[in-house]
Amino acid sequence: MDPLTEVPFYDFNNQAFYANDPPVQIMPGDAIRTTCTYDNPHDFPVHFGEATEDEMCFNFVMAYPIEMVGDDRDCGILDNG
């Protein structure tokens, strides 16, 4: 499994779009997986979510042409386990 993008140290103040050059071709049956590792320096649990006090791990993918993706595309959180 080859990484498409690696961001070893995320900076909230430096959010970016990472383009693949050359573009990556995703074929039917291929899968894209996002993996995030958190460092919680607090004595209380921090949960996944969209609030400021939560840990967030989101991945946005741009596909072109959209007609090639088909009708079975989905947007949203698929698995936070």
Whole-prediction pTM = 0.56
Helix and strand element counts for the chain (H, E): 0, 0
**Domain boundary assignment for the chain:** 1-81
d(CA 69, CA 75): 12
* pLDDT digit string (tens) for the chain, length 81 residues: 688 888 888 777 888 888 888 888 888 788 888 888 888 888 988 888 888 778 888 777 777 777 777 776 665 544 544
> In this predicted structure, what is the pLDDT of residue 2?
80
Phi, psi angle pair for 52, to nearest 5°: -60, -35
- Look at residue 80 in the predicted model and tell me its pLDDT: 46
Residue 81 has a pLDDT of 47
Residue 67, classed as helix, strand or coil, is helix
